[in-house]
Amino acid sequence: MNALEVEGLCIDFHTERGVLRAVDRLSFCVAPGKTLAIVGESGCGKSATALAILGLLAENAEVSGSIRLAGRKLTQAAQRAARGRELAMIFQEPMTSLNPAFTAGEQVAEALRLHEGLNARDAMDRAIAMLERVRIPEAARRAKQYPHQLSGGMRQRVMIAIALACKPKLLIADEPTTALDVTVQAQILALLDELKRETGTAVVLITHDLGVVRDHADDVVVMYAGRVAERAPTARIFEQPEHPYTIGLLGAAPRLDSRRARLASIEGTVPDLRDPPPGCRFAPRCPFAIAACAETPPLAETAPGHFAACHRAPLAA
Amino acid sequence: MTPLLEAPLLEARGLVKHFPFRDSLGRARGAVRAVDGVSLSVPRGRVLAIVGESGCGKSTLGRLLLRLIEPDAGQLRFDGEDLLALPPAAMRARRRDMQLIFQDPFASLDPRMTVEAAITEPLILHKLHRGRERARVAELLERVGLRPELARRWPHEFSGGQRQRIAIARALASEPRMIIGDEPVSALDVSVQAQVVNLLGDLIRDLGLTFVLISHDLGVVRQIADEVAVMYLGQIVEQAPAEHLFHNPRHPYTRALLAAVPGQGGALRLLEGDVPSPVSPPSGCRFHTRCPHVRDVCRASAPPLSGASHLAACHFQDSLPAATPIREAAADARLTRLQAYFTEHTP
């Protein structure tokens, strides 16, 4: 059974200037112990999707479609009950996610007392063991320190300890290493992979970094302006991308392993979702656009497990 | 032309900048040793990248190179002239030649100035194109890929990428010889970042600019730098021509930094621990607390930055095992052809 199944997810934000559809008919699933990456640029709907799964969207958001955690439909009440237990999260900025008034140990222990009903002493013992597992040196001493006394990498380790303390079925990691330096990022991502293998937790990794996707995801969803552009196993996305947006994005990202005469440059900017272009939302920026692109393309299977929302897929060079 | 013998445009020797801090009672408590003895040459018409992780001192070094802050010690020569000896008025005039582009285009433009006013300001300040300022603003906007009729608009009406183009136009207005970009594309989304990286590359080539790129993003550095300096805890640990540094890194820190960049099939050998505090950096070689090759001498004495054109500050730079090379991405013919459409066919 899949750890997470998202089917036809739509998110509308009611704003003073009208209704804005941030996510439009998004579907994907993640098996236990696997990582699915959602990639895209600002405003593509990737963070709204994370918050919708967690049930943490603002009041003005309207969610439709279905979200299932281990087969059970997640209603608002179910989300509240599952959060912190079966459904865990880590965000970009560990300083704002941690409570500055409590020690690192207290914050991990709180999760265990709340969700596993441990008493204070057992919870603290387990918390220290958990801090050791996320490789915080001198865990017993660090457990007594406050967030401001810890480095950014250390704080993100504490967040991971809190998130994984109760062996969740699903971890949502929204840009978990974007605020960290590259050497620390590598440590944190390797740690997440290792813990995921041990616990069988499924991970939804939200990121803008294609390098992180390549090394750490099993499957990829590429989003553009609220819709899925392409969905495929990771190797396929990098070797045989079919959607022009994916192709452009791969060519636009500077890489350590090649110096190119010129980066592929996707002209223009993302559309305003209050007034999106009709049909394919990427068409105004797409060098492959044809008349048919005035109609919204279906997300069609171009090869087993590989879906692209493009009238011209599969694209011949 | 004999480029190898040509004197560098900017030369720094032994730059030091410490930021003292006090406790709540006003007692001196120590100093952040942000830049601690940096010597550096910026070759003319080339792109020098200064790379390193947060807190390594790269932004402070950038400000020192422009004399936006005064060093505690050291020398600074721009085109042979002693910058630190210039009185304030002469320094202001000199600034025409050296400009800065910041990371955050939302903070670097005055929200109460139209684009035209923002770009006209340096023209008036340096008495350039008198009487035809408006036409010059239009030229500069076109140069950075913006329509001239946007000149009357306000910063908030633009996207991040457009604002960064405006900031570049403003930097170009005084016709500088050198521009320092402090993470100039780090705040931008990938597709927009590519546009600005390409634009910077074109400007550097077409205008013969000398460019100092301060960046933590080694992919961006690989794409545009000719020469790279790597900083760690306030010091330069390695400096070399870019392709040489990427393919034959000599310092263990540079090697670890390159290995940690995602997208290479999982990190090869991870660096343990965090960067030590720049308030009390480790004795001897500052990297010794995290170095996989550390020996006694590293704790006792600081290795000098040495070498001919490829400089490294490591006692064992000649005897370390060979570095694991970056595996160059194989060119994918289909992808290359498809990606070329983005450059050739504007929709």
Q: What is the pLDDT of residue B2?
A: 44
Distance from CA of A167 to the nearest CA of B (A): 24
CA-based nearest residue in chain B for residue A245? B191
Split at pLDDT 50, 70, 90, the class of B331 is: confident
Distance from CA of A271 to the nearest CA of B (A): 11
Q: Is the pLDDT of residue B117 over 70?
A: yes
Look at strands B10-22 and B73-78 and give their pairing: antiparallel
Domains of chain B and any CATH numbers: 7-20+30-109+174-323 (3.40.50.300)
How much is the pTM? Answer: 0.91
Distance from CA of A251 to the nearest CA of B (A): 6
**Residue B222: its chain A contacts at CB < 8 A?**
254-256, 258-259
Distance from CA of A317 to the nearest CA of B (A): 6
Q: CB distance B262–A269 less than 8 Å?
A: no
Q: Is the pLDDT of residue B108 over 90?
A: no
| Residue of B191, B202, B220 best to disrupt the A interface, most CBs of A under 10 A | B191
pLDDT, tens digit, for every residue of A165-189?
A: 988 999 999 999 888 888 888 888 9
Q: CB distance B274–A285 less than 8 Å?
A: no
| Residue of B58, B190, B232, B268 best to disrupt the A interface, most CBs of A under 10 A | B190
CA-based nearest residue in chain B for residue A268? B192
CA-based nearest residue in chain B for residue A193? B266
Q: Who among B53, B222, B265 is closest to A181 (CB)? A: B53
Q: What is the pLDDT of residue B347?
A: 53
**Residue B246: its chain A contacts at CB < 8 A?**
256
Distance from CA of A5 to the nearest CA of B (A): 28
Chain A segment 159-218 residues within 8 A of B by beta carbon are 181-187, 189-190, 208-212, 214-216
Q: Is the pLDDT of residue B61 over 80?
A: yes
Distance from CA of B236 to the nearest CA of A (A): 18
pLDDT, tens digit, for every residue of B162-187?
A: 999 999 999 999 999 999 999 999 98
CA-based nearest residue in chain A for residue B247? A257
Q: CB distance B216–A182 less than 8 Å?
A: yes
CA-based nearest residue in chain B for residue A286? B347
Task: Give the Cα separation of A291 and B44 in Å (integer).
Answer: 50
Q: Which residues contact B206 (CB under 8 A, 6 or more apart)?
A: none
Pair B235, B286: CB distance under 8 Å: yes
Burial of A134 (C-beta count, 10 Å sphere; 0-12/13-18/19+): buried
Split at pLDDT 50, 70, 90, the class of B1 is: very low
pLDDT, tens digit, for every residue of B231-283?
A: 999 999 999 999 999 999 999 999 999 999 998 876 556 787 778 888 999 99
Please name the amino acid found at residue A30: V
**Residue A151: its chain B contacts at CB < 8 A?**
274
Q: CB distance A267–B347 less than 8 Å?
A: yes
| A4-15, strands of its sheet edge to edge | A18-30, A4-15, A61-69, A72-73
Task: Give the Cα separation of A60 and A244 in Å (integer).
Answer: 33
Reading the block at residue A124, the tokens are 């603290």
Chain A segment 258-287 residues within 8 A of B by beta carbon are 258-260, 262-267, 269-270, 283-287
**Residue B343: its chain A contacts at CB < 8 A?**
262, 264-265
The list of chain A residues with pLDDT below 70 reads 317
| Residue B70 three-state SS | coil
Q: What is the pLDDT of residue B100?
A: 95
Q: Is A71 on the interface with B (CB under 8 A)?
A: no
Distance from CA of A258 to the nearest CA of B (A): 6
Q: Who among A216, A239, A287 is closest to B341 (CB)? A: A287
Q: Who among B219, B246, B342 is closest to A287 (CB)? A: B342
Can you name the residues that pair with A13 across neighbouring β-strands? A20, A61
**Residue A187: its chain B contacts at CB < 8 A?**
270-272
Chain A segment 28-57 residues within 8 A of B by beta carbon are 41-42
Burial of B85 (C-beta count, 10 Å sphere; 0-12/13-18/19+): exposed
| Residue of A158, A255, A270 best to disrupt the B interface, most CBs of B under 10 A | A255
ipTM above 0.90, yes or no: no
The torsion defined by the Cα of B225, B228, B233 and B237, in degrees rounded to 10, comes to: 170
CA-based nearest residue in chain B for residue A283? B347
**Residue B259: its chain A contacts at CB < 8 A?**
186
Reading the block at residue B278, the tokens are 């720049």
Q: CB distance A265–B194 less than 8 Å?
A: yes
The number of C-alpha atoms within 13 Å of A250 and in the hemisphere containing its C-beta is: 29
Q: Which of A24, A98, A83 is nearest to A53 (CA)?
A: A83
Q: Who among B274, B328, B342 is closest to A266 (CB)? A: B342
Q: CB distance A215–B264 less than 8 Å?
A: yes
**Residue B278: its chain A contacts at CB < 8 A?**
none
Q: Who among B262, B342, B347 is closest to A289 (CB)? A: B347
Q: CB distance B264–A252 less than 8 Å?
A: no
Task: Give the Cα separation of B100 and B102 in Å (integer).
Answer: 6
Chain A segment 107-166 residues within 8 A of B by beta carbon are 137, 151, 153-154
Q: Who among A209, A252, A262 is closest to B191 (CB)? A: A252
